[in-house]
Amino acid sequence: KGKKDKFANMTEEEKIAYLEQQRLAEEEMKAKRTALLSKYLQDKLEREERVSKLNNLKITHHWRALMRDLKSQELKKDVDILAQTFDRIVDRKNSIIKTLVKDLNDSEEQHMMSLRSHLENVDKLIANFLHSVAIYAGR
């Protein structure tokens, strides 16, 4: 009823001008609302992108820490296996060295016994030779 009363006192041109003004005001309000909503959504998108980037960095950092821990455990196992293998090889080589030292000592002892026996035989031969020379000389 209020609008009809307004229009009742207006001329046709005033009505058209008034309606045009109202339409322009509504369009301006709609444009402001659209711009405000667009700005709000743009800000929200930027905030979400920042949060997403931060979360991605956190996840990447956590993932790398987890992978480092796993790799560290794997490398520790490898080092333990290599240390055990090295110890076995050292033990085997020490055993071989002990065997070779024993064989060398046995060989040296055998050589000394052979040398002693040889020298005894040479002494016997010299004694026999001297005895033979004395027998032939005494004739």
Instruction: Give the residue-averaged pLDDT of 72-85.
Output: 98
The 3-class SS string of the chain reads CHHHHHHHCCCHHHHHHHHHHHHHHHHHHHHHHHHHHHHHHHHHHHHHHHHHHHHHHHHHHHHHHHHHHHHHHHHHHHHHHHHHHHHHHHHHHHHHHHHHHHHHHHHHHHHHHHHHHHHHHHHHHHHHHHHHHHHHHHC
**pLDDT at residue 3, as a whole number:** 57
72 pLDDT higher than 80? yes
Which is more confident, 120 or 1?
A: 120
**pLDDT at residue 4, as a whole number:** 59
Share of the chain above pLDDT 90, in %: 83
50 pLDDT higher than 70? yes
Instruction: Give the residue-averaged pLDDT of 79-84.
Output: 98
The whole-model pTM stands at 0.51
In this prediction, residue 119 has a pLDDT band, given cuts at 50, 70 and 90, of very high
